[in-house]
Amino acid sequence: MSTVGAYLRLARGGWILVREGVIAALPGDQLEGMPRFSWRLARLMSRRRSARRDRPERLAIAVDRLGPSYVKLGQFLATRPDVVGREMAYDLASLQDRMETFPETQARSAIEASLGRNVDDLYLDFGSPVAAASIAQVHPASIMREGNRERVAVKVIRPGVRRRFYNDLESYFLAARLQERYIAAARRLRPVEVTRTLAQTTKIEMDLRLEAAAISELHENTKGDPGFRVPWVDWQRTGRDVLTLEWIDGVKMSDVEALKAAGHDLENLATVLIQSFLRHTLRDGFFHADMHPGNLFVEADGTIVAVDFGIVGRVRKKERRFLAEILYGFITRDFRRVAEVHFEAGYVPPHHDVAAFAQALRAIGEPIHGQSAETISMARLLTLLFEVTELFDMQARPELLLLQKTMVVVEGVSRTLDPHFNMWKASEPVVSDWIAANLGPRGIVTDARDGLAAVASLARQAPEIAARTERLSREIDEMAVKGLRFDAGTAEAIGRAEARHTRSGRIALWAIAIALAAIAWQLG
């Protein structure tokens, strides 16, 4: 019956999106055949009052009706413009966690169940919630730390959110499988893999110990960074359902007028922000992937403090080198080298022509050199780059897309602080230092050292690898002689699974028909 439930939840989600005018707000003029008919039907079935709202407002209302797991789905899809398109990704990024708070008694129970101690023994004081999101809510509290009374923020998981999300996740996977089966153009975007990434990301986010680990790692990485820091974590008061960390007093970066009133240097803040992001990405390969202005505070001394680490990104050294060489290649107009980097990394299939790809890259890069530096957007450059790579069958790279999305946000925040912000001038010190350290003589020495370490590790594993190879060779020889066979139990299990699949499909179709009939009756 889980399949039936997934179909019903999917049908309900689709119906709400139709009624609130979300589907009607999508650009459907270029569609043909059944997709165009469905889009026109959705326009007729949407509520009249939805026509007076813009698309972000329609999305917000629909998501509020659908519940917290859809808020998280929308925020996740905002990181995947390759899947939903740039405009829709921008609209989804505006979704905020605007959930109502849950009772303090439930928060106390969750803390005590997670930590095994009474709340009054854990905290000197524990206040009412000050903010509520789809996954958790935040309470102010105080603790004794190193002999001093310290204010802390206590993040507590929302009751029942895991069960609700896992139920909705079934319908997300169903929608993704239907896309891959019936929409050929969607297969390149791997919707099932995207949904699997969402599931993994949210599972991590719903275990606050893992968010605490991300905060702790970034806190260590940024200890010596100028003008940027991350809160400390109180591990003694952190568990699966509760996270205790430093309380931050400062001005939100979204409040530009308040920053001006406090006397902060906005141009310097813009430079520090972009350099910090690039430093975390290139130097550490680990970055805060949700750096919208509501998650950034500026303290009295001008230090930027980031909060809310539910989404973080990792970039391997291969991808970091890829990014640095691309940026450097565009700056120096070496489009052939940029093309070669894509092929060397295996991102573009080898059957394509390097020269043709370099020509396409030139179409992106040449217009940049006719502009003033302050008008060139690095984020826009990466967006155009991913559009071109789609023409050459480059598979979606989630880690690069998350990086691109975050760069778009960070660059946007910097330009809000300083309309004349020069992205390239601000980035140059960090990017050039990384290139010198990793692509110059020092980088060659480091690569050689890493290569020797890999060879030594391989040598240590050589006996085990040889034994495995010998076993595999014997099994292949035996298979070639006797063939691949199933025992009777395996064949019977396959038959039962196929029968269940067919039966579930019929049940699901009947359930959808009944649900639609009920909706039609209610409307009538």
Residue 386 burial (10 A CB sphere; 0-12, 13-18, 19+): middle
User: What is the bridge-based pairing of β-strands 228-229 and 125-126?
Assistant: unpaired
Contact present, 149 and 156 (Cβ < 8 Å)? no
Closest alpha carbon to 312 in 420, 204, 225: 204
Contact present, 394 and 342 (Cβ < 8 Å)? yes
Give me the DSSP letters along 459-517. Answer: HHHHHHHHHHHHHHHHHHHHHHHH-----HHHHHHHHHHHHHHHHHHHHHHHHHHHHHH
Contact present, 8 and 509 (Cβ < 8 Å)? no
For 431, the token pair is 């990017």
For 438, the token pair is 């990793």
Residue 360 burial (10 A CB sphere; 0-12, 13-18, 19+): middle
| Side chain identity at residue 72, one-letter code | K
Contact present, 104 and 128 (Cβ < 8 Å)? yes
Closest alpha carbon to 272 in 405, 437, 410, 380: 410
| Side chain identity at residue 276, one-letter code | S
CA geometry: angle at 306 spanning 259 and 225, to 5°?
95
Q: Is 285 left (phi over 0), alpha (psi -120 to 50) or beta?
A: left
Q: Residues 91, 168, 290, 308: which is the catalytic one?
A: 290
Q: Is 153 left (phi over 0), alpha (psi -120 to 50) or beta?
A: beta
Closest alpha carbon to 46 in 74, 15, 83: 15
Three-class SS state of 183? coil
Task: Confirm whether 284 is a catalytic residue.
Answer: no
Closest alpha carbon to 68 in 95, 50, 106: 95
Residues acting as catalytic residues: 290
